[in-house]
Amino acid sequence: MLDSSFFSPALHPIPSAKPIEAAWLGRCATEVAPDLLGCTLVRRWEDGRCIRGRIVEAEAYTPGDPACHAYRRRTARNAVMFGPAGFSYVYLIYGMYHCLNVVTDADGAPSAVLLRALQLETIPPEANPRNEKPTRVAAGPGKLCRALDIDLSHTETPLKPGQSLWLEHRSPDLTQAWEDGAIAVTQTTRIGISQGIDHPWRWYVTASPAVSKR
């Protein structure tokens, strides 16, 4: 039975689940991105405090994709995307926001999945200065990082339990819901880019109130 809290605008605890391994991420970003919907991002602080968010929106950036930061060549900033899957890639955008990616695909194939929106289980008071609706606090890649206090110091983090960031698989009830086709997913074009605009490489949970844009 699907936990109805998945679509609820209120805050609900998210149960821990099996951690996602690097090998699972070592596939094409266009496969991984939709598979990450319904999975959980865990942010752990030095003091051991953790906050979880359910991924409801993601975009894929692939080798040969002109919108990918690694399209032109390997640089200091994008180097992690050229390595093996299972690491974070965080960058600064427009001088004021950070964006969190999950590095995917084989070693040497520069690609990643941009995490664009989460449904949070709890909201740190300092993470919501404008007192937005809880479902909107992590609606958008910049807001997601602001909510979870993610910045450039978090790039190239191995995504494993005990680190500052890791991923967990869908809970059993959500896995069942996906198998049943009970969760509608929308696939469409990516946001904010000027090249590669025709690739339909953005996926989001259709009914989620936390999706950044429609």
Partner DNA sequence: TGAAGGATTTGT
Partner DNA sequence: CAAATCCTTCAC
Q: Which two tokens stand for residue 203?
A: 């996926």
CB of 49 to DNA, least distance (A): 23
Contacts with DNA, 93-132, as mask; x by CB under 7 A: xxxxx-x-x----------x-x---------------x-x
Q: How many CA atoms lie within 13 A of 22 on its CB side?
A: 13
In angstroms, the CA 20 to CA 180 distance is: 22
Burial of 159 (0-12, 13-18, 19+ CB in 10 A): buried
Contacts with DNA, 66-95, as mask; x by CB under 7 A: -xxxx-xx-xxxx--x-------x-xxxxx
Q: Does 198 bind DNA (CB under 7 A)?
A: no
Q: How many CA atoms lie within 13 A of 201 on its CB side?
A: 26
- Give the residue, chosen from 32, 42, 144, 210, that forms a contact with DNA under the rule CB under 7 A: 144
Q: Give the binding site for DNA (CB under 7 A).
A: 59, 61, 67-70, 72-73, 75-78, 81, 89, 91-97, 99, 101, 112, 114, 130, 132, 140-144, 152, 190-194, 212
